[in-house]
A and B are shown apart, each in its own frame.
Chain A
């Protein structure tokens, strides 16, 4: 009996599994269909560093890193923000020069791949690109240090197509405090507020990833347009200063903003973060190994940093983080900030990816996981890109208003 019962139990379990598998297959199908009909927007990728290497071609599938055209196609990325970045310690005209050269590198890739890429600066242009079966390439400047305290330079970036600027990177800049540096400005300086206002006027989104909490609140107060966090996750799940508290996400949402979830394991998993913290030598060893492999080649450093971290996880020195952690953050942010205020900001090619989300090709898994969690298709669509597109549209409208175009139109109508 006991045996028979056991046997029956096993049979029941087997059939449940089978049904589950069938159901899962139906869901996968739905997920694929949904994912490939959506405009998927990723607001933060450090791929630009790789573009600076003349041997790297975005059009060829690469065995390293997370982003290239074939894998973006496979994962159906519809719009990608290429990050213009250099460390905070690069300042002055050198920073301007290097930023301009990176902007050019992205624009050149777009020119070299006219069948796959198109430079976009508005939500409408992203939708157009999508209709034409092309991937929209956008530009974001990651760190206010790159304007060298010069609004003219900010305007030059905007004229070249830049559509967001992260107010700081890891270090404070001349006018804003970073979340990973000692506060010196108590948030934004007066000039920092001027920068935010000028960004509003130019239609450049204000990105508060990387900035200190006080800077975030100052920017929120100053900005006439909704803010974005281009690549930040939830501090309630992983207590990193780079992540946002529930209160910050709520306040961001009230003003129409969006938090774009970052996939970096150190921002996703408290366990990972704790282990890193408990063993500071580990980071030093990784850094030393990265320097050994890459010298000062930034793109190599980012790619190898991810690879070495993986090696350490395999060796059991660091905990394994699954991609489902991304879903956990999305779900938390949705619960706290609302379904209209969450999006994707992978940090591909600039961070350590969790298992199952090694590159852009894996993105459909997010859609499937959200459906599995019971999210409505319309809500998934918002998270994948529509929320970001809405903010872009809002930012553009506000920019037009600030430029007085609205007044002109009205006077024409009268």
Chain B
């Protein structure tokens, strides 16, 4: 807060009552923001866009009226590196989970091939930089939920070989070896096997993602992992007290080991007011969700659309408050104050969550850069938040993976 006051004062002092100059000054920031944003590597670590690809009718190359991510809007928002989430429900286990995950990986790879001019599959920081230099959007893959390895450590190697670069240890439900933050603990964090999985991920250069996992599983992973952890799409619990978010202590120890928390834009995770209001109508919502599931079957996009409609209804009826995109800035700023600018980044949860007002899709991303500039952040720090921090962790992971493989 203090930083912002100083900054505003600096502007008004230098503008010294000249309306004309002041206008230019404001535009200067907008210009500087645009230039900064569009020259940076903007790396988002979590979008559920593969769920839309599964419909078979969605074309990544065309601007879509729905959803949050497609190539035209990525271009517009300067989003030039995106992790696509490989996700199937935590209720699917064993060989069927493996086959479905393989299919989704293939789907992403096929789409990248189909849009070879715009997209490039990337598996290293270097490949992201190369894609950026060539004007291509780097697409990366993350597996959202440890259940997709079918309780078989060898699948970590297979997914890594297919280009997957992070795995979220659990999703909404506990898997066979890690507790979820939204399920009853069954393993007291990570099992012995779960720790082995983390070590194998280190060896394979697959980032350990602790979004969705229980606090205990987070601390267990932190202890075991030789590579800094990431939270691919989690926000700050001090602002919205949701189990999916991270406490200040968790953020501190994550940062102490070099990790990064990638802020999630989901309204529930951004706003305490929204979260409590939502909890109050949760009974209605879950009843409605049962209904959606009946209507939509396995079609996650259909369910998503119905949820958005319901949310709009509830917001219109005053049962849910509006959440502004500026909440994202508040979360970023909280982390920066807590642990400095090296440990926070962007993990939108596009196409998998309800976006706040003003950040309806990825084309709106330049607003984040502008807001941070206005808040007095240095260009260097903003570049880190936009993508530099996660690139640093990827490079560390690549180095440690090489060392571990050579040591064998």
Q: Are A104 and B157 in contact (CB under 8 A)?
A: yes
Q: Are A155 and B109 in contact (CB under 8 A)?
A: yes
Q: What is the 8 Å Cβ interface bit string for chain B, positions 58-98, against chain A (1 contact, 0 not)? A: 00000000000000000000000000000000000011101
8 smallest beta-carbon distances between A and B, as pairs: A93-B95, A97-B95, A152-B106, A152-B103, A93-B99, A156-B102, A104-B154, A93-B96
- Shortest CB-to-CB span from A82 to chain B, Å, is 15
Q: Are A160 and B161 in contact (CB under 8 A)?
A: yes
> CB-nearest residue of chain B relative to A103?
B158
Most chain A CB neighbours (cut-off 10 Å) among B98, B102, B110? B102
Binding site for B on A (CB under 8 A): 92-94, 96-97, 100-101, 103-105, 107-108, 111-112, 148, 150, 152-153, 155-156, 159-160
- Shortest CB-to-CB span from B93 to chain A, Å, is 11
Q: Are B99 and A101 in contact (CB under 8 A)?
A: no
Q: How far is the CA of A108 from the CA of B204 in the complex (A)?
A: 12
> CB-nearest residue of chain A relative to B98?
A97
Q: Are A107 and B161 in contact (CB under 8 A)?
A: yes
Contact of B150 among A97, A112, A148, A160 (CB under 8 A): A97
Contact of B158 among A104, A111, A152, A155 (CB under 8 A): A104
Q: How far is the CA of A155 from the CA of B405 in the complex (A)?
A: 27
Q: Are A92 and B95 in contact (CB under 8 A)?
A: yes
- What residues of chain A lie closer than 8 Å to B103, measured between beta carbons? 150, 152-153
- What residues of chain A lie closer than 8 Å to B106, measured between beta carbons? 152-153, 155-156, 159
Q: How far is the CA of A97 from the CA of B152 in the complex (A)?
A: 10
- Shortest CB-to-CB span from B311 to chain A, Å, is 33
Q: Are B158 and A93 in contact (CB under 8 A)?
A: no
Q: How far is the CA of A160 from the CA of B105 in the complex (A)?
A: 12
Q: How far is the CA of A103 from the CA of B155 in the complex (A)?
A: 11
Contact of B152 among A96, A101, A150, A155 (CB under 8 A): A101
- What residues of chain A lie closer than 8 Å to B99, measured between beta carbons? 93, 96-97, 148, 150, 153
Q: Are B95 and A96 in contact (CB under 8 A)?
A: yes
- Shortest CB-to-CB span from A51 to chain B, Å, is 12
- What residues of chain B lie closer than 8 Å to A159, measured between beta carbons? 106, 109, 161-163
B329 on the A face (CB < 8 A) = no
- Shortest CB-to-CB span from A19 to chain B, Å, is 56
Given known A-B contacts A108-B157, A159-B162, A100 and B98 have beta carbons under 8 A apart: yes
B107 on the A face (CB < 8 A) = yes
Q: How far is the CA of A247 from the CA of B333 in the complex (A)?
A: 76
Q: Are B154 and A152 in contact (CB under 8 A)?
A: no
A-B contact pairs, 20 of them (CB 8 A): A92-B95, A93-B94, A93-B98, A97-B95, A97-B152, A100-B98, A100-B102, A100-B154, A101-B152, A101-B154, A108-B157, A112-B408, A150-B103, A152-B102, A152-B106, A153-B99, A153-B103, A155-B109, A159-B106, A160-B162
Binding site for A on B (CB under 8 A): 94-96, 98-99, 102-103, 105-107, 109-110, 150, 152, 154-155, 157-158, 161-163, 405, 408
- What residues of chain B lie closer than 8 Å to A108, measured between beta carbons? 157
Q: How far is the CA of A48 from the CA of B54 in the complex (A)?
A: 34
- Shortest CB-to-CB span from B237 to chain A, Å, is 38
- Shortest CB-to-CB span from B347 to chain A, Å, is 26
- What residues of chain A lie closer than 8 Å to B105, measured between beta carbons? 156
> CB-nearest residue of chain A relative to B405?
A111
> CB-nearest residue of chain A relative to B96?
A93
- What residues of chain A lie closer than 8 Å to B408, measured between beta carbons? 111-112
- Shortest CB-to-CB span from B62 to chain A, Å, is 21
- Shortest CB-to-CB span from B150 to chain A, Å, is 6
> CB-nearest residue of chain A relative to B103?
A152
Q: How far is the CA of A111 from the CA of B154 in the complex (A)?
A: 14
Q: How far is the CA of A107 from the CA of B160 in the complex (A)?
A: 12
> CB-nearest residue of chain A relative to B97?
A93
- What residues of chain A lie closer than 8 Å to B157, measured between beta carbons? 104, 107-108
Q: How far is the CA of A137 from the CA of B4 in the complex (A)?
A: 61
- What residues of chain B lie closer than 8 Å to A97, measured between beta carbons? 94-95, 98-99, 150, 152
Q: How far is the CA of A93 from the CA of B150 in the complex (A)?
A: 11
- What residues of chain B lie closer than 8 Å to A94, measured between beta carbons? 95
- What residues of chain A lie closer than 8 Å to B162, measured between beta carbons? 156, 159-160
- What residues of chain A lie closer than 8 Å to B102, measured between beta carbons? 96, 100, 152-153, 156
Q: Are A155 and B110 in contact (CB under 8 A)?
A: yes
> CB-nearest residue of chain A relative to B153?
A104
- What residues of chain A lie closer than 8 Å to B94, measured between beta carbons? 93, 97
- What residues of chain B lie closer than 8 Å to A96, measured between beta carbons? 95, 98-99, 102
- What residues of chain A lie closer than 8 Å to B154, measured between beta carbons? 100-101, 104-105
Q: A101-B154, A108-B157, A159-B106 are in contact. List 13 more A-B contacts (CB 8 A).
A: A92-B95, A93-B94, A97-B94, A100-B102, A100-B154, A100-B158, A104-B157, A105-B154, A111-B408, A152-B102, A156-B102, A156-B106, A160-B162
Q: How far is the CA of A104 from the CA of B200 in the complex (A)?
A: 14
- Shortest CB-to-CB span from A59 to chain B, Å, is 13
- Shortest CB-to-CB span from B249 to chain A, Å, is 38
